[in-house]
């Protein structure tokens, strides 16, 4: 199979990223960009982000997860703690997040450390989930090999019967992580591939150093 993609071209012209317009804290700029993409005409999942971990096999692995909360500490998402990503984080908490908003010609790359959030915070979010999502957290041994889809369906049915007309508690193997950023890079597409790249690096006194990077 062969396909040549070398003629694919896009000219980036929508915005520019000027250092004089930057806030001191990158989380403020992140929230501004997220607000703008939410109010654009793009109907996609704006909170979808790529999470990259270093697996226990030594290979990096990336997958899409959903950002559920932003705090001054960092970026929160939820998952099965015994999943492949959870096991990877247990061994190496260094992770990378990336957002790509094509219609805004923007991407954001975040390097940081993953930590489990407090159990009561995970409980609170779990309670807000639809019943089917709660049951799915019980029924799926995420990332484990299964013999067939029927086995998954049977496991789901088992928990549907177990929790019928009952409150569904959060399983202990499921909860949230906060990614505490150490660097955040903002990329704004520009003409002639002279893209704007601004990187914030966290300093020991918790201030942020701001640099412009070559595209």
For 37-62, b/e burial (b = at least 16 CB within 10 A) is: beeeeeeeebbebebbbbeeeeeeee
- Those residues with Cβ within 8 angstroms of residue 158's Cβ, 6 or more apart along the chain or in another chain: 139
Dist. CA 120–CA 100, nearest whole Å: 31
Q: Is 9 known to be catalytic?
A: no
Q: Roughly what angle, to the nearest 10 degrees, separates helices 131-139 and 149-162?
A: 120
**Catalytic residue from among 170, 193, 197, 199:** 193
Output the 3-class SS for 90-152. HHCCEEEEEEEEHHHCEEEEEEEEEEECCHHHHHHHHHHCCHHHHHHHHHCCCCCCCCCHHHH
Q: What separation in angstroms does the CA of 167 have from each of 92, 140, 142? A: 35, 19, 22
Q: What are the residue numbers of the active site?
A: 193
């Amino acid at each position: 199979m062969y396909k040549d993609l070398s003629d694919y071209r896009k000219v980036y012209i929508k915005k520019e990223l000027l250092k004089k317009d930057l806030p001191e804290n990158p989380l403020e700029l992140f929230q501004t960009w997220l607000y703008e993409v939410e109010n654009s005409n793009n109907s996609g999942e704006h909170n979808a982000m790529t999470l990259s971990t270093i697996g226990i096999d030594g290979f990096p692995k990336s997958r899409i997860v959903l950002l559920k909360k932003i705090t001054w500490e960092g970026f929160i998402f939820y998952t099965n703690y015994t999943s492949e990503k959870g096991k990877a984080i247990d061994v190496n908490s260094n992770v990378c997040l990336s957002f790509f908003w094509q219609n805004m010609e923007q991407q954001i790359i975040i390097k940081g450390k993953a930590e489990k959030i407090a159990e009561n915070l995970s409980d609170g979010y779990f309670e807000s989930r639809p019943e089917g999502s709660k049951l799915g957290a019980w029924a799926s041994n995420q990332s484990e090999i299964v013999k067939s889809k029927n086995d998954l369906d049977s496991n789901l049915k088992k928990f549907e019967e177990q929790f019928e007309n009952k409150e569904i508690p959060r399983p202990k193997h499921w909860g949230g992580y906060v990614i505490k950023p150490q660097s955040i890079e903002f990329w704004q597409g520009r003409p002639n591939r002279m893209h704007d790249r601004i990187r914030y690096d966290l300093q020991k006194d918790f201030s942020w150093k701001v640099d412009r990077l070559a595209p």
